[in-house]
Structure 1
Amino acid sequence: MTLADVGGWEVEDEVRAAVARYEAALAADDLAELDALFAPGSTTLRADAGEVVVSHAAISDFRRGRGGAPARTVTALHVIVHTAGLATAVAETLRPDGTRGLQTQVWEQGAAGWQVRVAHVSSGAAPSAPAPSTRTAADAALERADPATWRVVGSPLVAPTSTGPLDGVSVAVKDLLDVAGHPVGAGNPVRLAQAEPSAAHAPVLAQLLAAGAHVRGIARTDELAYSLSGTNVHHGSPANPWGAGLVVGGSTNGPASAVARGTADLGLGTDTAGSIRVPASYCGLHGLRPTHGVLPLDGVLPLAPAFDTVGWLTRDAGLLHRVASALLPGSAPITSLVLATDLVALADPAVATALTAAAGDLAAVSGLSMTREDLLTPEEHERWFTAFRTVQGAQAWAAHGAWIQANPGVLGPGIAQRFADGSLVSPDALAEATAVLAAGRAALRARVGEGTAVLLPPASSTAPPVSAPAERKAVYRAATLRLTCLAGVGGLPSAVAPAALVDGLPVGLAALGAPGADSALTGLLAGWDRRLAPPA
């Protein structure tokens, strides 16, 4: 039988057209089109160097979990026709980083037209190519069952690169940090679809992997990390184990939920204005916002670089301290405590009462003396808070304004309004606010001396309900920001421990230290070893 006998030239043209459709759908991450181009049934197969996925349903789950494929160009396409309804296509591909690859597909024609029955992808190893992940059907099921928490999960998604003090620790990585081979979506599906896979891990993540930790998965965040509530209009609000319908707190919401519910040991995220400390308080977790600049921000999508930090969340104080010891330099121990009475007074009355008692317990357990005094005047506080929000908004717009303008309507209303406000900050207003912050930083660093831990609330209330009216959420946000902004103004480290229950919900106690006192603060909390267990 010859090529002409099976209408080979026509078949080849049809298969080439089908491959072109496939490549276009792959580039656009058009999941519906990709599903349609793969043959239905339990015998459809897709394989690469990392894994073999069998069945149309499993391939569909795999595709949804990876968040898009690396960009590539087909440089040559070879089609071999076997029968009138069966052909093999081999595509030679080239990625922007110079990596060459091959994609081999067996196409068969059915009632729905030409569809892929078998596919195999291979590529030359780029210098920074990550080790293959291990993904199981259970991982895909977890993604489907909990899409508000997880974007993609593996067993592990990324293996450790060495052994060390964090052996066996599973990490939920906020979708703001580079994970090699995966794009950064920053809580927005349009940005995820447009993003290229990261070429290398963010240095902080690389340090964790070198210490023996592994990545369980990439977890959700509020859009572009510009929120404290932990709700996302695209993915919903992750579950808070302390009660149905309660916010987790943001913007490190996915990692916080994963850690609080025990599906990860360590939540790696960021804190610009409280995005580690607020989820810690709402979920009964430990957390650390390090000294500004002590950890590199390479491979971390910025929000406001003047305040951005990489931080983490844990269920117990021991792990919080072990991570600090692995990532950060040592520091002199804490020798005295100060309860900031002016800041405690900003919390809800029941929270203030509970935290005052918890501060006393910390002093008793640690054997440290504790004084009670105001940290700043009301006038200073208001001036620094206003300057903080001005600079944060202006820098957020500088970081993301061009993308927002190029993609109108992609953000939820609350996040969109914050960026819109940031776009209106004039150069003169920014310069004035920057000068106010410089004075505020000097003043705070003078008042928070080496060896001193200032105790204050990390949030003004317990976790509010997701369904709270927008006006009420704005009140919560403003009250909490007045507390959390101070670490940003001063560039100071702040560690949080679960401190007490108020009406059955957790509240945290924050310890603010001098620059570089990070591991001293985590050591102080490790000695206290406070734990609160959510209801079964």
Structure 2
Amino acid sequence: MTTHETMPGTQGPTESVAATDAPALPQVGGNLTTAPPDLVKRFWKYEEALMADDLPTLDALFIDDETTLRADGAGVLLGSDEIRRFRRGRGGAAQRHIASVQAVPVSDTAWLTVGESLTVAGGRGVQTQLWRHDPEQGWRIATAHITGPAVVLDRSIWREAGAPLVAPTSSGPLDGMTVAVKDLFAVAGHRIGAGIPEYLETAAVEPDHATAVAHLLANGASVTGIAQTDQFAYSIAGRNAHYGTPPNPARRGSISGGSSSGPASAVALGQVDIGLASDTGGSIRVPASYQGLWGLRTTHGAVSKNGTLPLAPSFDTIGWITRDASTLRRAAAASLPENGRHTLPETIEFVVDRTLVEQSDPDVVEAFDWYLTGLGRGATEVSLDAGHPSPAQAFPATYYEAFRVVQAAEAWASHGTWITEHPDAVIGDVAERFADAALMSRAQHREAREILDEARARWEHVLEGRVLLLPSVASVAPESDAPDEHIQAVRTATLAMTCVAGILGRPALSVPALETKGGPVGLCLVGPQYADLALVDLGENIANRQMNQEHLAARGFGAREQRTTLTGV
């Protein structure tokens, strides 16, 4: 028999919460029977809703308040809105059985329950919930803490891992550091999977390490494992239709960013020190920005791509994702040849193109502009479209479209034959992208290249030795369950900015410097070619400057949320 307990104050489908009349503890041990009967019903209703991924009921069973807490090994979620967003992005909880429950009264209107659970897939976990009673809405959860079974290998992050998977080949400045290798790089004795199970099955075992992998191993680092990527790296979302979406600990319930999704999440979660990645249209900068990390896209061709699966060779380049600038510099220094060590001018001039910046959401533009007020010398406004005969409103859409066409044509040249022979292997939005690429004509490709060649020459004249500043992405990380149309809109706006570095072949550094109320956003520095290490030094100089308290207060941040400033750089 099922009854329904009315919960005043809620709306729509959450106005009532079903509660079972079954005995409190029919098959588990513990002392839940000492708790109030209506609390017992709510406890079991929560379990029932959790196993069914019944989101409206779960929402109704948590107090709808900004002080409501949910915590687990990945961190704390504060406020019912943040908890709801997390639930909608996780895709349901692991199936489990309650083994025992203990209930402890805290007061007349508060009880603590501690349940021990056995997951169907194996392993044991614990859930602790503080329930509070309201005369109108009954018992609801104010605080929850979950300790799940130990996860040996999260398949959304890792394709393969070891302890280590590959040991260092020598000693050096990276001694003791660990690496997640994006599944585009050859690791000797293993296959390249490119984010596609069928591609992995048909791939040959690699006889040698990719050059970028060998550099890190020769300098003392070990490879922990091969990390996931979007299919053929042809996305910046990080939502792999085969393996899932890696977690984003900086904004839980949101996408990780791609295509270097696995390495970025592994770094953000502290599972490795360095993510070895590639960047074609933003595949390092986007996940670094979404997850509050450092990410460097190197000068095109500065690091050998030998042993790396291509996407669009005109724009593909190598780089790294780390939690701090020091580690990033060491990884870059271990891999860059002498031609990647040019210096920047003694007096650095920052420039900004407002049309590019304003591709971003208003809150990102606000955070970027607020940050620029800390520039001691300010930033010079320039127009990358200056001198072009087309109307100003054509920028940057014209160049993004040309970039998209060339990228698509090269992506089809790289993988079209394999995709044709394996028609159902690539799925989802990436499949749609390749389908469009297959239709690109030679005339379209040729015209797009001419547009990019002309743009590159003109932009270098405008920028010269200066550093272009812009947001790394157009928005904070979208929610994992956001509609495809929203993800696509964010992708288009972001690529309109990130493609500039690709067109120029310049290095681009994402610094975790900007902050919106929704989450972190990177500040992107696009520097002169081969000034890669100097750009990292500049970014570290920026990050080491403390934001003054008056400036913080104006943005609503407290002392514990200090961000950095460009003052004095």
* TM-score after normalising by structure 1: 0.70
Q: Distance in 2 between matches of 1:289 and 1:531?
A: 23
Matched, 1:227 2:235: yes
The list of structure 1 runs, each at least 4 consecutive aligned residues, that deviate by more than 6 angstroms after superposition, is: 531-534
Gaps of 5+ in 1: 1-140
1:313, 1:320 within 8 Å by CA — same for their partners in 2?
A: yes
1:460, 1:479 within 8 Å by CA — same for their partners in 2?
A: yes
Q: 1:330 aligns with which of 336, 341, 349?
A: 341
Q: Distance in 1 between matches of 2:478 and 2:528?
A: 31
Residue by residue, what CA displacement relative to the aligned partner does 1:160-195 show, whole Å, maximum 9, x if unpaired?
Answer: 111111111111000010011110000000011111
Q: Distance in 1 between matches of 2:463 and 2:508?
A: 12
Q: Distance in 1 between matches of 2:373 and 2:175?
A: 35
Count of residues in Structure 1 that have an aligned counterpart in Structure 2: 389
Determine the structure 2 residue equivalent to 1:156: 164
Q: 2:356 aligns with which of 343, 351, 354?
A: 343
Structure 1 residues 370 and 185: alpha-carbon distance in aligned structure 2, compared to 1, 3 A threshold: same
Q: Which secondary structure does the structure 2 equivalent of 1:300 belong to?
A: coil
Residue by residue, what CA displacement relative to the aligned partner does 1:84-127 show, whole Å, maximum 9, x if unpaired?
Answer: xxxxxxxxxxxxxxxxxxxxxxxxxxxxxxxxxxxxxxxxxxxx
Written as runs of structure 1 = structure 2, the 5 A alignment for 1:331-410 is 331-334=342-345, 335-361=348-374, 363-364=375-376, 370-376=379-385, 377-410=392-425
Determine the structure 2 residue equivalent to 1:276: 284
Written as runs of structure 1 = structure 2, the 5 A alignment for 1:437-516 is 437-450=452-465, 452-516=466-530
Q: Distance in 2 between matches of 1:340 and 1:492?
A: 16
Q: Distance in 2 between matches of 1:461 and 1:504?
A: 9
Residue by residue, what CA displacement relative to the aligned partner does 1:480-508 show, whole Å, maximum 9, x if unpaired?
Answer: 11011111111111001011221141000
Gaps of 5+ in 2: 1-149, 386-391, 547-559, 562-569
Q: Distance in 1 between matches of 2:201 and 2:420?
A: 17
Q: 2:253 aligns with which of 226, 240, 245?
A: 245
Residue by residue, what CA displacement relative to the aligned partner does 1:240-298 show, whole Å, maximum 9, x if unpaired?
Answer: 00233200100000000000111011111110000000001100001111111111111
2:372, 2:378 within 8 Å by CA — same for their partners in 1?
A: no
Matched, 1:317 2:332: no
1:392 deviation in Å? 0.4
Residue by residue, what CA displacement relative to the aligned partner does 1:429-464 show, whole Å, maximum 9, x if unpaired?
Answer: 1111111111111122222222x2110011100000
Q: Which secondary structure does the structure 2 equivalent of 1:403 belong to?
A: helix
Residue by residue, what CA displacement relative to the aligned partner does 1:18-63 show, whole Å, maximum 9, x if unpaired?
Answer: xxxxxxxxxxxxxxxxxxxxxxxxxxxxxxxxxxxxxxxxxxxxxx
1:350, 1:502 within 8 Å by CA — same for their partners in 2?
A: yes
Q: Distance in 2 between matches of 1:530 and 1:150?
A: 32
2:290, 2:476 within 8 Å by CA — same for their partners in 1?
A: yes
Q: Which secondary structure does the structure 1 equivalent of 2:214 belong to?
A: helix
Written as runs of structure 1 = structure 2, the 5 A alignment for 1:130-141 is none
2:264, 2:321 within 8 Å by CA — same for their partners in 1?
A: yes
1:338, 1:371 within 8 Å by CA — same for their partners in 2?
A: yes
Q: Which secondary structure does the structure 2 equivalent of 1:496 belong to?
A: strand
1:497, 1:530 within 8 Å by CA — same for their partners in 2?
A: no
**Structure 1 vs Structure 2 CA RMSD:** 1.9
Determine the structure 1 residue equivalent to 2:270: 262
Q: Distance in 2 between matches of 1:374 and 1:353?
A: 20
2:166, 2:222 within 8 Å by CA — same for their partners in 1?
A: yes
Residue by residue, what CA displacement relative to the aligned partner does 1:180-212 show, whole Å, maximum 9, x if unpaired?
Answer: 111000000001111111110000110111111
Q: Distance in 2 between matches of 1:218 and 1:281?
A: 22
Identity of aligned residues (%): 46
2:236, 2:286 within 8 Å by CA — same for their partners in 1?
A: yes
1:252, 1:276 within 8 Å by CA — same for their partners in 2?
A: yes
Structure 2 counterpart of 1:340, which letter? D
Moved more, 335-344 or 195-204: 335-344
Moved more, 238-247 or 177-186: 238-247
Q: Which secondary structure does the structure 2 equivalent of 1:238 belong to?
A: coil
Moved more, 345-354 or 268-277: 345-354
Structure 2 counterpart of 1:350, which letter? D
Determine the structure 2 residue equivalent to 1:4: none
Structure 1 residues 236 and 531: alpha-carbon distance in aligned structure 2, compared to 1, 3 A threshold: farther
Matched, 1:187 2:187: no
Structure 1 counterpart of 2:197, which letter? P
Determine the structure 1 residue equivalent to 2:210: 202
